[in-house]
Amino acid sequence: MRIGIIGLGRMGGNIAVRLTRHGHDVVVHDRTASVTDAIVQRAEGGRATGVDSVEALVKGLEGDTHRVVWVMLPAGKITEACVQQLGTLLGKGDVIIDGGNSYYKDDVRRAEELSAKGISYVDVGTSGGVWGLERGYCMMYGGPKEAADYIDPILAALAPGKGDVLVTPNRDAPGLDPRAEQGYLHCGPSGSGHFVKMIHNGIEYGMMQAFAEGFDIMKSKNSPVLAEGDRFDLNMADIAEVWRRGSVVSSWLLDLTAEALAKSGELSEFSGEVADSGEGRWTIEAAIEEDVPAPVMTAALFTRFRSRSGNNFAEKILSAQRFGFGGHVEPK
């Protein structure tokens, strides 16, 4: 299958390369020509064609039964402008995929606007960060069933597959989607994919914060404010490592924490000024709209705000985790 990809950053570029490794052809475009050229060079078997404009990308898909374009750009005005431009270049039966982190209410609006032109809009919440090239991407997507079914070969290639994850009992029960075991899931109409990914990221905030606070408490157990007999000089790297081995809190986030602490116990390379990508805020807004209490995720978001006006070891743990899974570099 052939697909166009616009935006070849940390994830967009790897998505393009992974697709070529699975036998798909890609037409790729990035505003920086050297980035486009680099992806063409990395692609498998000459399956990538680089172009210098969105118009050229659409032209490069001519002849396909349904032209499919994946947009992998920063959420907000940049993605909005690109989707609107594609809406003028594509036509009936074509598919626009937004694989970034757009606000789900924008997806609902875009889908309605594009539907009037016969263009299908699919929002794909994509998790996997810089590791997705090798591990695959967990994807939650929303959109018309016909369009979702048409792009299934693309999503199946990007997904991690069952791997060595233990099978969940009763997964063969009626009504359960077998694609979920492969790491991708059609969640419902347009907007639902990014909504589920938004909540995923809100949960991520809370999990990261719990690890950060726990390690901060342990590190501070040697504080001079404590009586000398109450002090412990604990090794953070060793604790993170032992927890990876059979504990109930073992996880990829803990793996990343252990890796960072083994490299630098004080995490001095991190400022601890922790950014938020927007989904945490949107998750809290959704909770307020639905009258659902979300104290953990709210506190985690507010802690990120506080980190920008002075920080401690906990915030450096958060910075290390964000760098580990997404390559996010916090300001020094």
- Catalytic site positions: 197, 204
Q: Please check whether residue 223 is in contact with residue 231, taking contact to mean a CB–CB distance below 8 angstroms.
A: yes
How is residue 111 written in tokens? 């889908």
Buried b (16+ CB within 10 A) or exposed e, 282-320: bbbebbeeeeeebeebbebbebbeebbeebebbbbbbbb
The size of the chain, in residues, is 332
Taking only Cα atoms into account, the Rg of the chain, rounded to an integer number of angstroms, comes to: 22
Angle at 325 between CA 82 and CA 184, to 5 degrees: 65
How is residue 204 written in tokens? 């991520």
Q: Please check whether residue 198 is in contact with residue 104, taking contact to mean a CB–CB distance below 8 angstroms.
A: yes
Q: Please check whether residue 125 is in contact with residue 139, taking contact to mean a CB–CB distance below 8 angstroms.
A: yes
Alpha carbon distance 247, 327 (integer Å): 26
Alpha carbon distance 118, 104 (integer Å): 20
Q: Please check whether residue 56 is in contact with residue 25, taking contact to mean a CB–CB distance below 8 angstroms.
A: no
Buried b (16+ CB within 10 A) or exposed e, 75-104: beeebbebbeebbebbeeebbbbbbbbbbb
How is residue 26 written in tokens? 């890609």
CA-closest candidate to residue 304, choices 282, 271, 274: 274
